[in-house]
Amino acid sequence: MPALLEVRGLTAGYGAGEVLHGIDIDVASGGVTALLGANGAGKTTTLRAICGMLQRRGEIRFDGARIDAAATQAITRRGIAHVPDGRGTFTDLTVEENLRLGAYVRRDGGVAADIAAMFEHFPVLRARLRQTAGLLSGGEQQMLAIARALLSRPRLLLLDEPSFGLAPLVVQQIFAILRRIRAEWNISILLVEQDASLALDFADHACILDAGRIALAGPAATVGRDEQVRRVYLGY
C-alpha cells in the first residue's frame, strides 16, 4: 500500500540558512511515524515545511498528489492538520471560538457532534468554553490545540512535541486520548517528540533526524532496540 504522506528530498530552511538537506519520510495510511532527534536537528522545520509554512524544495505527496507548491491553508483543506510548536492558540479568542476555527474548512453538518466528541475526550474544554483561550494552563492549551486540529477531520495529524512543558501525568493523559481518537477516526500521525521512549512506544515507524539529514529509519521497535542509536541519538 502506498504511503499517505511521502516526502522525498525535502530541503528547507529560514532565509539563507538551510536546515534540512534533502530528507525522505513516509507516513503509512493509518500509521504513526515518529520523527526523533536532538534539538536543532530540524524536526520542527520538517513539519513546517510539509505545511508550507516556509520555503521548501523537494517532493511532498499527500494521498498521491503533490502538495509541495501548495499554500498552508490549501494543505489544511486537503486533510493535514498541524498542532504547531507553541500550540498556536488564538489567545484572544474564547475556547469555543478556537474550536469553531478548527472546523473552519468544513461545510458538513457534523461539526457540532464532533465538538461534543471532543468534550468527551477533553472535559476541561467544556468547562472553559467561554474563557479566553490565552488564560488556559499549558496542558489545557495543548488539549485545545489537539482538539482544534482534530476538528478539521484530518486524515494526517502533525504533532509538534505535544509533551513539551507538561507534567508527566498530563502527558500520559494526552497520549491516551490520542490513541483512542486515532483508532476511532482512523487518523495517521507524524509525531515530533523529545521524549524518545514515549514516541517509540506510540509510533509504529521511526525516523531519526541528525543535523538536517535522516540518520536512520525503520520500524519503531527496531529503532528503539538499537543500543547505539539509543546512546548516540536518543540519549537514554
Partner 1 sequence: MSALLHQTLSGLATGGIYASVALALVMVYRATRHLNFAQGEMATFSTYIALTLIQAGVPYWAAFALTVVLSFALGVALERLLLRRMAQAPGLSAVGVSIGLLLIFNALSGWLFGYTVKQFPSPFEGRSGGVLGGLVSGHELGMTAVTVVLLLLVYGFFRFTRLGLAMRAAAGNAESSRLVGIDVGWTLAIGWGMAASLGAVAGMMVAPLVFLDPNMMSGVLLYAFAGALLGGIDNPFGAAVGGFAVGVIENLGGAYIVGTELKLTLALVIIAAVLVLRPAGLFGRAVVVRV
Partner 2 sequence: MSRLAAVGVAVLLIAPAFVLSGYHLFQTTMLAVYALAILGLDLVTGTTGQVSLGHGAFYAIGAYVTAILMASFNWPYWATLPVAGAVCAALGFAIGLPALRLRGPYLALVTLALAAAVPQILRAKALETWTGGAQGIVLSGPEVPALLPLSADQFLYLFVLAIAALLFLAAHLLLRGRIRRAMAAIRDHPLAAEAAGIDVAAIKTRAFAISALFTGIAGSLGALVVQFVAPDSFEVMLSIALFVGLVVGGTGSLPGAVAGAGFVLFVPNLSELVSKSAPGVVYGVLLVAALFVMPSGAAGALRRLVASRRRARPDTA
C-alpha cell, 214: 535522516
- Choose among partner 2, partner 1, none what residue 15 binds, the Cβ cut-off being 5 to 8 Å by kind: partner 2
Please report whether residue 15 would count as binding partner 2 according to CB under 8 A: yes
Among 56, 82, 121, 205, binds partner 1 (CB under 8 A): 82
Q: Kindly list the distances between the CA atom of residue 113 and the CA atoms of 110, 125, 131, 138, 144, in Å, as whole numbers in the listed order.
A: 5, 15, 21, 26, 16
Using CB under 8 A as the binding rule, the residues of this chain from 50 to 69 that contact partner 1 are 51, 53
Helices (H) and strands (E) in the chain, counts: 10, 10
Put the strands of the sheet holding 213-219 in their side by side order. 80-83, 156-160, 188-192, 32-36, 205-210, 213-219
Closer Cβ to partner 2, 15 or 64, answer by number: 15
Q: What is the dihedral of CA 101, 106, 109, 114, to 10 degrees?
A: -60
Please report whether residue 212 would count as binding partner 2 according to CB under 8 A: no
Strand, helix or coil for residue 216: strand
Please report whether residue 97 would count as binding partner 1 according to CB under 8 A: yes
Using CB under 8 A as the binding rule, the residues of this chain from 16 to 45 that contact partner 2 are 16-17
User: Which stretch, 12-20, 31-39, 66-74, 121-129, contacts partner 2 (CB under 8 A)?
Assistant: 12-20
**Can you point out the beta strands (E) in 49-122?**
56-62, 65-66, 80-83
- Least distance CB 85 / partner 1 (angstroms): 10
- Least distance CB 60 / partner 2 (angstroms): 27
Contacts with partner 2 by CB under 8 A lie at: 15-17
Contacts with partner 1 by CB under 8 A lie at: 51, 53, 71-73, 76-77, 81-82, 84, 88-93, 97, 100-102, 104-105, 148-149, 152
